[in-house]
């Protein structure tokens, strides 16, 4: 099996927030309201998918611990994406 490359179709295709322990509840709620269940017809919103204690529930996959400085994003299908603070600072990512 060969390693492949992966990239987005556009440079501004993800909505994201930087996680902090003092994040506004509205920011957390906005991300959580956009994470969807990819295995259910109609892809409904996955309630409680992102919490202010830094837990990101990836639908049907498991839980990730989000640390301060990490970015939590979602794509147009509602799929959550976690980027570490180090990756965002030193990788090929553009953010505002």
Phi-psi region of 48 (alpha: psi -120 to 50; beta: other; left: phi over 0): left
Phi-psi region of 64 (alpha: psi -120 to 50; beta: other; left: phi over 0): beta
Domains of the chain: total = 1
Mean pLDDT of the chain: 87
- The parent domain of residue 53 ranges over 15-90
Quick check: is 63 in a domain? Answer: yes
In tens, the pLDDT along 45-83 reads 888 899 989 999 999 999 999 999 999 999 888 999 999
Quick check: is 4 in a domain? Answer: no
Quick check: is 84 in a domain? Answer: yes
């Amino acid at each position: 099996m060969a390693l492949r490359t992966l990239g987005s179709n556009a440079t501004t295709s993800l909505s994201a927030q930087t996680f902090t322990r003092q994040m506004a509840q509205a920011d957390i709620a906005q991300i959580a309201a956009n994470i969807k269940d990819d295995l259910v017809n109609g892809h409904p919103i996955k309630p409680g998918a992102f919490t202010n204690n830094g837990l990101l529930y990836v639908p049907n996959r498991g839980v990730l611990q989000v640390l301060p400085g990490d970015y939590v994003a979602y794509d147009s299908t509602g799929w959550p994406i976690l980027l570490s603070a180090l990756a965002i600072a030193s990788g090929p990512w553009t953010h505002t």
